Amino acid sequence: MERYVAGIDIGGTTVKMAVFTLEGDMVDKWEIPTDKTGGGEHIIRDIGASMKKQLDSLGIPYEALQSAGVGAPGPVDVENGLLFEAVNLGWKDRYPLRDLVKDALQIPTAIDNDANCAALGEMWKGAGKGAGDLICITLGTGVGGGIIVNGDIVHGAKGAAGEIGHMTAVPEGGYLCNCGKTGCLETVASATGLVRMAMDNIKAWNGASFLKEKVEKAGVISAKDVFEAASMGDEPAASTIDQLALQLGLALANAGSILNPEKIVLGGGVSKAGDLVLSPVKQYFRKFAFKPVGESTEIVVAELENDAGVTGAAWLAVNKI
Amino acid sequence: MERYVAGIDIGGTTVKMAVFTLEGDMVDKWEIPTDKTGGGEHIIRDIGASMKKQLDSLGIPYEALQSAGVGAPGPVDVENGLLFEAVNLGWKDRYPLRDLVKDALQIPTAIDNDANCAALGEMWKGAGKGAGDLICITLGTGVGGGIIVNGDIVHGAKGAAGEIGHMTAVPEGGYLCNCGKTGCLETVASATGLVRMAMDNIKAWNGASFLKEKVEKAGVISAKDVFEAASMGDEPAASTIDQLALQLGLALANAGSILNPEKIVLGGGVSKAGDLVLSPVKQYFRKFAFKPVGESTEIVVAELENDAGVTGAAWLAVNKI
């Protein structure tokens, strides 16, 4: 009988689920809504029911599923299988996620946080394939990170390793971050941070600007608006991109000089702007990195997109049980 | 028969040598001058002869020496046992150090660079004892670093991991570094960098200052002079220490947010200034680090001093053969 593993990526809106072979080939993927009612008490029961139903419809006997991996939206105590908290799901202090999923699915289960799962996914089957040393960064609403050394995630003393988004990019006078600190990389390299910087640049700009007109008409702009305006040569938009690229290139160079990974993998919305962002980020990276690092560490774009989390969770199911 | 290992730390002036038990207890240590004549061709022969002579005088039969570890003053290809170069010893491109020492001593040998050996020494027997995740930094003429994750050194793609001294601390307008880049941490956190910053601060200072008087009389000052003046309340000296502490605290905070090690171990001359430097470094570290990192990563002073290198080399002899 062929054996399979499950990869599960729990998010605030949907739970992404997938079945993989032991070699990491995806057999099927699907998602269910995240039911946050009752303090999130139905989420795990829903996962269990959906897994059984889906395997049934795939014609895979349940006994063929040998283990599961779960990516969780918050800091995790990997050893004890606990989620410290996941405020947006309603799960409280030290939620015993691993054992609850294990009971619901009746198979051995391993957990890690979602950013680490995404990094493992890119290492196993994506842009970092074949690399044992990797830094993965997701540039979305926030900036998440996962660090891989010798083919495994670095968790650190309190599970707080990989928090590249909370490197201090602006030591004095930076924007306030959600973490309580000011000047975090996340405040200048996330989509949210990009829009805020653009709004400030527009305020200080007296010349012609499509982006300024858009703000005056619509009241709000998105990161995509900034990218579009910059690619049309809009000056405050272009200088906003340059600010982001400088700060991101500098932070990656400093992370690179510490770890000299084979690859730095950039994912999330901001990385989808393509060469408009990537090309200056690479220039600043080479400018600020220790020379042998600038020459040997490659910056690449993530490949798995929304599948990174379930793929990395499946890697846990194969390698961490 | 009790078995032993050798730890050897090759420097530009002396070669430090020591014999250890397999548990890492030092039996004896000594040093010989580094003979740089003839492109450094005598160094390894001297090591071999000295080892035999010393074991003889200790009454340890040569057969009891089971392996050796060597710390080398330059970037190393650990896998192939090559030293890329060690300009100050006269050793050229891809010097086959491991096999040459192995032939001279007639025992299995492992090598790594000296900063990594110092980090392994502190992990095994020093300030990092018992910690599996560690950042070690030596603040001397330059700034060297070694990163330990899961109880082993991180080498990175081209052996350039751990180069914390070449993190870019001053993105614009920084001092030129020996590595060819500007604004490296080494230019503001080494003893050399401290003196240069102090000289600049003195030039711009119009008030009373012991340090300024000293420069005017003697023409030159040392890092020790700056520490002494600062501890007596000299203003340009105190503001120089604050600049160093800010840059070092910021770099350690950013390295900490990436790796969340149990401990950050500071060694070398600058760390010997005690609380004058340590106390503001810790303050800036907590200010700039991601909060869970600031709470869980501890900054401590190295304990092994000049023995760190041979101790880490001996660790290689026990664990990497």
Q: Which two tokens stand for residue A47?
A: 């996962």
By the CB < 8 Å criterion, does A262 face chain B? yes
| % of chain A exceeding 70 in pLDDT | 100
Per-residue pLDDT band at B199 (split at 50, 70, 90): very high
Per-residue confidence (pLDDT) for residue A72, from 0 to 100: 94
Q: Which of B160, B290, B291 lies at the smallest CB-CB distance from A293?
A: B160
Q: Which helix (H) or strand (E) holds A29?
A: strand A26-33
Q: Which residues of B touch A150 (CB under 8 A)?
A: 149-150, 152, 154
Burial of B275 (0-12, 13-18, 19+ CB in 10 A): exposed
Average pLDDT over residues B5-24: 97
C-beta separation of A302 from A24 below 8 A = no
Q: Which residues of B touch A85 (CB under 8 A)?
A: none
Per-residue confidence (pLDDT) for residue A93, from 0 to 100: 84
Chain A nearest C-alpha distance from B246 (Å):
9
Q: Which two tokens stand for residue A75?
A: 């800091």
Higher-scoring residue by pLDDT: B89, A277: A277
Mind listing the pLDDT tens digit for each residue in B245-297? 999 999 999 999 999 999 999 999 888 899 999 999 999 999 999 999 999 99
Which residue in the block uniquely carries the two structure tokens 């994506």?
A126
Please determine, for residue B25, whether its predicted confidence score (pLDDT) is greater than 90.
yes
Residues 13-72, chain A, touching B (beta carbon < 8 A):
none
By the CB < 8 Å criterion, does A84 face chain B? no
By the CB < 8 Å criterion, does B76 face chain A? no
Please determine, for residue A1, whether its predicted confidence score (pLDDT) is greater than 90.
no
Burial of A203 (0-12, 13-18, 19+ CB in 10 A): exposed
Per-residue confidence (pLDDT) for residue B85, from 0 to 100: 80
Chain B nearest C-alpha distance from A226 (Å):
25
By the CB < 8 Å criterion, does B182 face chain A? no
Per-residue confidence (pLDDT) for residue A85, from 0 to 100: 80
Residues contacting residue A140 through CB under 8 Å, at least 6 positions apart: A190, A191, A268, A269, A270
| % of chain B exceeding 70 in pLDDT | 100
Instruction: Report the alpha-carbon distance of residue B297 to residue B135 in Å, rounded.
Output: 10
C-beta separation of B160 from A239 below 8 A = no
Per-residue confidence (pLDDT) for residue A89, from 0 to 100: 87
**Three-state SS for A53?**
helix
Chain B nearest C-alpha distance from A159 (Å):
7
Per-residue confidence (pLDDT) for residue B86, from 0 to 100: 82
DSSP A149: E
Per-residue confidence (pLDDT) for residue B23, from 0 to 100: 97
Instruction: Report the alpha-carbon distance of residue B95 to residue B11 in Å, rounded.
Output: 15
Please determine, for residue B48, whether its predicted confidence score (pLDDT) is greater than 90.
yes
By the CB < 8 Å criterion, does A291 face chain B? yes
Q: Which residues of A touch B295 (CB under 8 A)?
A: 158
Chain B nearest C-alpha distance from A93 (Å):
15
Per-residue confidence (pLDDT) for residue A86, from 0 to 100: 82
**B168·A246 Cβ contact <8 A:** no
C-beta separation of A37 from A46 below 8 A = no
Residues contacting residue B157 through CB under 8 Å, at least 6 positions apart: A133, A260, A261, A262, A296, A297
By the CB < 8 Å criterion, does A162 face chain B? yes
Mind listing the pLDDT tens digit for each residue in A96-150? 999 999 999 999 999 999 999 999 999 999 999 999 999 999 999 899 999 999 9
Q: Which residues of A touch B133 (CB under 8 A)?
A: 154, 156-157, 161
Per-residue pLDDT band at B165 (split at 50, 70, 90): very high
Per-residue H/E/C for chain B: CCCEEEEEEECCCEEEEEEEECCCCEEEEEEEECCCHHHHCCHHHHHHHHHHHHHHHHCCCHHHEEEEEEEECCCEECCCCEECCEHHHCECCCECHHHHHHHHHCCCEEEEEHHHHHHHHHHHHCCCCCCCCEEEEEECCCEEEEEEECCEECCCCCCCCCCHHHCECCCCCCCECCCCCECECHHHHCHHHHHHHHHHHHHCCCCCCHHHHHHHHHCCCCHHHHHHHHHCCCHHHHHHHHHHHHHHHHHHHHHHHHHCCCEEEEECHHHHHCHHHHHHHHHHHHHHCCHHHHHHCEEEECCCHHHHHHHHHHHHHHHCC
Please determine, for residue B75, whether its predicted confidence score (pLDDT) is greater than 90.
no
Average pLDDT over residues B210-224: 94
Please determine, for residue B89, whether its predicted confidence score (pLDDT) is greater than 90.
no
DSSP A127: T
Model confidence, pTM: 0.94
**B150·A147 Cβ contact <8 A:** no
Average pLDDT over residues A48-73: 97
Chain B nearest C-alpha distance from A257 (Å):
5
Per-residue confidence (pLDDT) for residue A35, from 0 to 100: 95
Q: Which residues of A touch B253 (CB under 8 A)?
A: 167-168
Q: Which residues of B touch A156 (CB under 8 A)?
A: 133, 259-261, 293, 296-297
Chain A nearest C-alpha distance from B249 (Å):
11
C-beta separation of B266 from B126 below 8 A = no
Please determine, for residue B74, whether its predicted confidence score (pLDDT) is greater than 90.
no
Q: Which of A157, A168, A181 lies at the smallest CB-CB distance from B260?
A: A157
Per-residue confidence (pLDDT) for residue A257, from 0 to 100: 96
Q: Which of B150, B171, B292 lies at the smallest CB-CB distance from A158?
A: B292
C-beta separation of A69 from A308 below 8 A = no
Chain A nearest C-alpha distance from B28 (Å):
34
Mind listing the pLDDT tens digit for each residue in A176-226? 999 999 999 999 999 999 999 999 999 999 999 999 999 999 999 999 999
Per-residue confidence (pLDDT) for residue A87, from 0 to 100: 78
Q: Which chain A residue shows the shortest CA-CA distance from B297?
A: A157
By the CB < 8 Å criterion, does A251 face chain B? yes
Q: Which residues of B touch A157 (CB under 8 A)?
A: 133, 260-262, 296-297
Q: Calculate the average pLDDT of chain A.
A: 95
**Three-state SS for A211?**
helix
Q: How many interface pairs between A and B have CB atoms less than 8 angstroms apart?
A: 156
Chain B nearest C-alpha distance from A45 (Å):
32
Residues contacting residue B19 through CB under 8 Å, at least 6 positions apart: B4, B5, B6, B7, B26, B27, B28, B29, B54, B55, B58, B60, B65
Q: Which residues of B touch A251 (CB under 8 A)?
A: 254
Q: Which residues of A touch B162 (CB under 8 A)?
A: 258
Burial of A276 (0-12, 13-18, 19+ CB in 10 A): middle
ipTM for the predicted complex comes to 0.94
Please determine, for residue B92, whether its predicted confidence score (pLDDT) is greater than 90.
no
Q: Which chain A residue shows the shortest CA-CA distance from B258?
A: A162
Q: Which residues of A touch B286 (CB under 8 A)?
A: none
Q: Which residues of A touch B166 (CB under 8 A)?
A: 257, 290
Q: Which helix (H) or strand (E) holds A137?
A: strand A134-139
**B262·A157 Cβ contact <8 A:** yes
Per-residue confidence (pLDDT) for residue A205, from 0 to 100: 95
Please determine, for residue B138, whether its predicted confidence score (pLDDT) is greater than 90.
yes
**A258·B295 Cβ contact <8 A:** no
Average pLDDT over residues A281-295: 97
Per-residue pLDDT band at B319 (split at 50, 70, 90): very high
Chain A nearest C-alpha distance from B199 (Å):
24
Per-residue confidence (pLDDT) for residue B134, from 0 to 100: 97
Phi, psi of A160, deg, nearest 5 = -100, 10
